[in-house]
Amino acid sequence: MLLELLIGIPLTITAWKRGWKRWAVLPLPLALVVQFVIGLILGATAPAGTTVDDLAGTAIAVALVIDLLAAAVLVGMIVKPRRSASEPVGFKPSREQALGDADLHKVGQ
């Protein structure tokens, strides 16, 4: 949980600024829900006589892996900014679009 706060929130903010907007907010809550469900499953399937201390090591290891996966997803979002919806796959702007009309006239003179 602390890993999510210390690493996840700055990564989420950076991914938001890289164009992912609301999608950048999803990895952390999804990780938290998955951790909760796995904790319930671990607690429900524990053999009789098992204490919380016996399950703590497994639960912490699973939570750490899930936190690292969520951080990896956010890093992936940061590394590859989101394409705009109007930009098709494989789109490469022409020289006129890349330079803009005003710049193109300057280059031609």
Question: Tens digits of per-residue pLDDT, 7-33?
Answer: 899 999 999 999 999 999 999 999 999
For residue 102, pLDDT beyond 80:
no
Give all strands (DSSP E) within 1-48, no chain letters. none
Domain housing 38 = 2-108
pTM of the model: 0.69
The widest CA-to-CA distance across the chain, in whole angstroms, is 85
How many CA atoms does the CB half-sphere of 21 hold within 13 Å?
Answer: 4
- CA angle 75–14–8, rounded 5-degree value: 60
Residue range 45-68, pLDDT digits in tens: 888 888 878 888 888 899 999 999
Q: How many domains does the chain have?
A: 1
65 in Cβ contact with 31 (< 8 Å): no
